[in-house]
Amino acid sequence: METNLDKIDHLAIPVTNVAAAIKWYQKLFSCRIAYEDDTWALLEFENIRLALVLPEQHPAHFAVERDDAGSFGDLKSHRDETRSVYIEDPWKNNVEILQINKNE
């Protein structure tokens, strides 16, 4: 029996300068900007998205899409209209649980 696997939506890495990081990644790799402001950016690659975040704004993390994200804790609304909750694994890594249905 085939089980549907969860989807990793994006990885987030800390940078000290979002604009400079965008230029560096676009110079080396074929990717496009999905979102950009002074505090974070989202780059789209063929198979995954990469968030460039300021360390004081967002922790380094990876985001998993779930339709039951609210069962992990209270969902927070974000400026890109997504809703999520951050949890830690037993090794203190940050995992963002991203609500699949934005209307919930």
Q: How many angstroms separate the Cα of 94 from the Cα of each of 32, 51, 79, 102?
A: 25, 14, 20, 21
Sorted by where each begins, the domain ranges of the chain are 7-99
Question: What predicted TM-score, i.e. pTM, was given to this entire model?
Answer: 0.86
- 78 pLDDT more than 80: yes
Q: What is the pLDDT of residue 1?
A: 64
- The CATH topology of domain 7-99 is 2,3-Dihydroxybiphenyl 1,2-Dioxygenase; domain 1 (3.10.180)
- How large is the average pLDDT for residues 50-77? 95
Q: What is the pLDDT of residue 58?
A: 87
* 89 pLDDT tier (thresholds 50, 70, 90): very high
- How large is the average pLDDT for residues 61-67? 96
